Structure 1
Amino acid sequence: MKFIKFFLVGIFFGIVLVKSEAVSWYRIIEMFKFQSFHMYGIIGSAVVLGGLGVWLIKKMKVKNIDGKVIQIPPKERSFTRYLFGGSIFGLGWALAGACPGPMYILVGTGVFSMLIVIAAAILGTFAYGVLKNKLPH
């Protein structure tokens, strides 16, 4: 029963992303061609709100669903690691026209070709799991 709240928040988030055109392939292409500020404004707002949210979680010692205080470990400092990973993520985003969250939203709006992209993302995640021990971390 408590997961219904998360399901409803997900539906609301999907509606917001569709209405703000954040899942629009045309908006994403405009962003990658530096033709419009629209997506940069959305992403910038998300970064600011995310940073504020993390700060509030740490400051107010927010508890998770199990009643334990949320601990956010510090990130490793590695310029090349994040540059390489971000480049792969951005390339996939540009090729598919969607990042992971909107892939599911697009299926919900009737773009069933995204099922191929979701299958490829799952395959990529599986491949990473198999190769993880052989990759530099």
Structure 2
Amino acid sequence: MKYLKFLAVGIFFGIVMYKSEAASWFRIYEMFHFASFHMYGIIGSAVIIGLIGVQLIKRNDIKAFDNQEMCLTPKKLGIYRYLIGGTIFGLGWALTGACPGPMFVLAGAGFYSILVVIAGSILGTLAYGLLHKKLPH
């Protein structure tokens, strides 16, 4: 019962992703070919909303759901990790037609071939968990 609110937010997120066509392979294909502004608008809106949310948390000392303080520590700047990580993420997105959010939406919509991608992402997360101490951060 404690996690029901998170399930509700996840279901709402999935419906929004599906209805806005953000989970559509064709929309992602159009975006990577610069043929449509649709996905750039969705991504840009998410960045702006995230920016506003983080600034509100920082300036108003907003607490988490369980009344714990949110700690937003600044990260050390480094160009290579962002270039390498962004390239890997972008290649995966372009090859599969889905970033992590819509993967589960696509599985729920009946596109079961995405389960191979989900399994690959879980294996990649496991590999990172095993190797993260040896990687430059």
Q: What is the identity, as a one-letter code, of the residue corresponding to 1:6?
A: F
Following TM superposition, by how much is the alpha carbon of 1:102 offset from its aligned partner in structure 2, in angstroms?
Answer: 0.7
**Structure 1 residue 5, shift from structure 2 partner:** 1.1
Tell me the SS of whatever aligns to 2:133. Answer: helix
Match of 1:83 in 2: 83
Q: Distance in 1 between matches of 2:86 and 2:46?
A: 17
Opposite residue 81 of structure 1, the aligned amino acid is R
Q: TM-score, normalised by structure 2?
A: 0.95
Could you say what secondary structure the match of 1:72 adopts? coil
1:65 deviates by 2.9
Distance in 2 separating the partners of 1:134 and 1:69: 30
- Which blocks of at least 5 consecutive residues in structure 1 are unaligned? none
Deviation per CA, 1:3-41: give whole Å up to 9, x if none.
111111111111111110000000001111111110000
Number of aligned pairs? 137
Corresponding position of 1:6: 6
Deviation string 1:86-109 (CA, Å, 9 cap, x unpaired) is: 110010011111001110111011
- TM-score w.r.t. the length of structure 1 is 0.95
The CA RMSD measured in Å over matched residues stands at 1.0
Distance 1:50 1:59 in 2: 14
Which ranges in structure 2 are unaligned for 5 or more consecutive residues? none
Question: How is 1:109-128 mapped onto 2 (pairs within 5 angstroms)?
Answer: 109-128=109-128
Which residue in 1 is equivalent to 2:53? 53
Aligned residue in 1 for 2:42: 42
- Percent same amino acid at aligned positions? 63
Per chain length, whose mean CA-contact separation is higher, i.e. which structure has more relative contact order (CA < 8 Å, sep 6+)? 2
Shift in Å, 1:135 = 1.9
